[in-house]
Structure 1
Amino acid sequence: MSYMATARKKKLAKLAEDEVPSVGDEVRYAISLVRQGDHRFYTLTMPSNVLAACCYATSKDEDPEHGFQRVLSEKRAQEIADYVDGGGTIPSSVVLSAQSESDFRSVDRSKTAAFKFGPTAFLILDGQHRVFGFAKAKTSLRVPVVVYDGLSKEQEAQLFIDINTKQRPVPKELLLAIKGLAKTESDVEATLSQLFDLFHADSKSALLGWTSSTKKAAQKIDRVTFNVGLRQHLDMFEGKDIVFTYTTFNAYFIAVTSGLRAKSVEASIARKTTFRAFLDVFPDVVQRVQDKYKAKYTADNFAAVISPIFDLTSSTFVNPKSSILDLSMEMKKRLKSGLTI
């Protein structure tokens, strides 16, 4: 082996140890060729700092003619960097399109990819926030990469569309439902999760049949809506156990659903605006139960306090045209109209 060949081999070995190459250097990585129907692409792994230094993305604002990526969020990229530096793992592949200046090619009987290193060697089709998050991270790691070669600008844009329309994110409701399994819940999240599960499954729940545990569903209260509505009131139950908290909220919802049922609009409790508005007035109702019924939080006492709210028209609950805040303000006005000494 010649001196130049030996030196080149040593340089390639050194680059494999996460050294960022110089512009114009030839870089090589082991690859696998994948065929899917009429399409073919290569899979490989690259050090995160090398990847970040040879990729770029263009948004429509930056390049009106050819750009199609979303504008980069520095906040999101930093969150990814913090996650990586905290020991997190991101196994999903970054999808790239090799640009002509990279001279990307397979060698060694398609077992190795060779390309000319440079800041615009690859266009990012999917994963720009991951790539730039890796660039911000102090930790270097190997990143799974998919490389398409020989795509036209039209094909790059179409692939971007396919990736972002055919792949659906996991519903937030499902992520909330399984956080307990991952043991990543905060105390507040754990409390909300327990409350939701009780309302979802307890035979005495006022919301039984009106909740959806793992996804959004029409005419159902999902975990996201439930959590936003109840979270603001958990401080009122400081020092109380989950049974007392659930029993109190349930008594309130028994009163609410009973009032709606009397107007033949019980299903409206599952409308986001109506559900949230009833929760917004919850502290006012609790205060009146404390004053009038010596803090006996029964369904009957709640019902007596909120009865003026149901002087509103049925359509107000079924098809609220106002915002959550506007509807809750209207409810509070009705509560005041029923106040006596």
Structure 2
Amino acid sequence: MSDQKFTAECIPVELGGVTAYTFAMPVKDLVHIYYVAVRGRDDEEGAVQRPLNTRRIQSIKDYILEGNTFFNSFILNWTDASNKVVVKNNKISFSLVSAAAQAIDGQHRLAGLEDAMEDDSSVGGRVVIVTLCIGLTTKHAATIFLNINTEQRPVPKSLLFDLFGETGNDPNHAINRARDIANQLNDEPKSPLYNLIKFPGAPRGAGKIELSTFVTALKKGFEPDGEFPKRKLKSLDHQATVVSNYFSAIKNAYVTDKTWASSSQNPFFKAAGFNGAIDFLLDKLIFKCAERGSFSVQAITEILGLSSRELLRWEDLQGQDGKTARKNVYQYLEKGMSRVIDSKDAYAF
């Protein structure tokens, strides 16, 4: 294959002092010319990659074999000095030499394509987009790598539902939506749960509420017959805002009492307390807010009425099993609604 030449029309562009050429290329040719240079292992210019994750490769392979493709480009760095890349009249040409170009972005996708080709040779005939740089230094390669992996953020998986109006019977939609909201509330500095959700691999002491607790508690609310879609709260923004406003209303009362940040006093940082709070949100509060026509922090604050009564603390629940503590948190929050009803002197008929 090294005697074969590849030629294609290309689009040259200069970005940050680096010239790159973008063109379409068959998968079988692309997987032949690429290789991975791992930082700390390979002593060569442009070695910026991390070791391959085999689980991720398998997932990508399955994705490809289901008939899916990639619309974002594969970024390569041509390093074979003995075989020159020729660009003339907006056409790029080079020899199909094995291991001639480092993968700067897309190494797992490339490995997934290779594995998929072994099961289905037709994958090799598919066309993908390639962006090729030539002779990048490690500094330039690292700049591109860091730009892709630190400055760009993935689109929330569950946003596909908002874009296309259906989940395609995806059984994981509710889980994805709950996780996306966890990400959003944990990363937003103005969120009441900012840096309070503990993600897998987080440093010791980081976060208070386990991600698994958050997702498990909320996911039923996002299912087709869940409380959110039932009340026509279908978009990611609306759903995240409801959860955020709810915990903002709770947080405001505890901040005033100076106990919100206390792991030993705040009952909502514990699994039982958080679950009880979400049970109340899904069973009672969303309906009540929909009835009022408002999911604002003020409306939720008025319903909860926490400022006018003694706050629940974890010490009030200690010694109780998880199920009992969860129920007591639910009942504590429910008392606010009872107070609103009791305060009515008369109804309009």
TM over 0.5: yes
- Encode CA deviations 1:78-123: one digit per residue, 9 max, x unaligned: 22222222232311111222221332213xx434322222212212
Name the residue aligned to 1:78: 58
Q: Pick from 12, 34, 44 the counterpart of residue 55 of structure 1.
A: 34
Calculate the TM-score normalised by the size of structure 2. 0.56
Does the Cα contact within 8 Å between 2:86 and 2:93 map onto a contact in 1? Answer: yes
The answer to which of 96-105 and 275-284 deviates more is: 275-284
Percent identity (aligned): 17
Name the residue aligned to 2:100: 121
Q: Pick from 128, 140, 144 the counterpart of residue 159 of structure 1.
A: 140
Aligned residues: 261
Does the Cα contact within 8 Å between 1:31 and 1:44 map onto a contact in 2? Answer: yes
Does the Cα contact within 8 Å between 1:308 and 1:334 map onto a contact in 2? Answer: no
Q: Structure 2 vs 1, CA of residues 156 and 180 (structure 1 numbering), >3 Å: closer, same or farther?
A: same
1:256 Cα offset (Å): 6.1
Amino acid at match of 2:216: Q
CA distance in 1, matches of 2:93, 2:311: 72
Amino acid at match of 2:271: L
Q: Structure 2 vs 1, CA of residues 116 and 179 (structure 1 numbering), >3 Å: closer, same or farther?
A: same
CA distance in 2, matches of 1:280, 1:306: 16
1:232 Cα offset (Å): 2.5
Q: Pick from 231, 253, 268 the counterpart of residue 215 of structure 2.
A: 231
Does the Cα contact within 8 Å between 2:175 and 2:219 map onto a contact in 1? Answer: no
1:282 Cα offset (Å): 5.2
Q: Structure 2 vs 1, CA of residues 285 and 89 (structure 1 numbering), >3 Å: closer, same or farther?
A: closer
Does the Cα contact within 8 Å between 2:157 and 2:176 map onto a contact in 1? Answer: no
Amino acid at match of 1:260: Y
SS at match of 2:162: helix
Name the residue aligned to 2:162: 180
Q: Pick from 218, 224, 236 the counterpart of residue 189 of structure 2.
A: 218
Name the residue aligned to 1:325: none
Q: Structure 2 vs 1, CA of residues 195 and 231 (structure 1 numbering), >3 Å: closer, same or farther?
A: closer
Name the residue aligned to 2:115: 136
CA distance in 1, matches of 2:250, 2:143: 45
Q: Structure 2 vs 1, CA of residues 332 and 234 (structure 1 numbering), >3 Å: closer, same or farther?
A: farther
Name the residue aligned to 1:242: 227
SS at match of 2:3: coil
- Encode CA deviations 1:136-193: one digit per residue, 9 max, x unaligned: 22323211111222x2xxx431222212333423256x54455433433845644885
CA distance in 1, matches of 2:180, 2:76: 42
Map residues 36-51 of structure 1 onto 2, 5 A cutoff: 36=15, 38-51=17-30
Q: Does 1:278 align with 2:250?
A: no
Name the residue aligned to 2:91: 112
- Encode CA deviations 1:264-302: one digit per residue, 9 max, x unaligned: 344x49x9x968633344568999xxxxxxxxxx979xx
Q: Does 1:89 align with 2:69?
A: yes
1:47 Cα offset (Å): 0.6
Does the Cα contact within 8 Å between 1:27 and 1:114 map onto a contact in 2? Answer: yes
Does the Cα contact within 8 Å between 2:220 and 2:226 map onto a contact in 1? Answer: no
CA distance in 2, matches of 1:286, 1:28: 59
Q: Structure 2 vs 1, CA of residues 156 and 94 (structure 1 numbering), >3 Å: closer, same or farther?
A: farther
- Encode CA deviations 1:233-253: one digit per residue, 9 max, x unaligned: 46999998527x99xx99x97
CA distance in 2, matches of 1:34, 1:236: 48
Q: Does 1:260 align with 2:243?
A: no
CA distance in 2, matches of 1:335, 1:54: 60
1:56 Cα offset (Å): 0.6
Does the Cα contact within 8 Å between 2:8 and 2:23 map onto a contact in 1? Answer: yes
Does the Cα contact within 8 Å between 1:306 and 1:335 map onto a contact in 2? Answer: no
Does the Cα contact within 8 Å between 1:84 and 1:134 map onto a contact in 2? Answer: yes
CA distance in 2, matches of 1:57, 1:256: 50
1:134 Cα offset (Å): 1.5
User: 5+ residue gaps in structure 2?
Assistant: 198-208, 232-242, 280-302, 326-349
Name the residue aligned to 1:7: none
SS at match of 1:59: coil
Amino acid at match of 1:147: L
Amino acid at match of 1:69: Q
CA distance in 2, matches of 1:258, 1:46: 56
Q: Pick from 130, 144, 147 the counterpart of residue 145 of structure 1.
A: 130
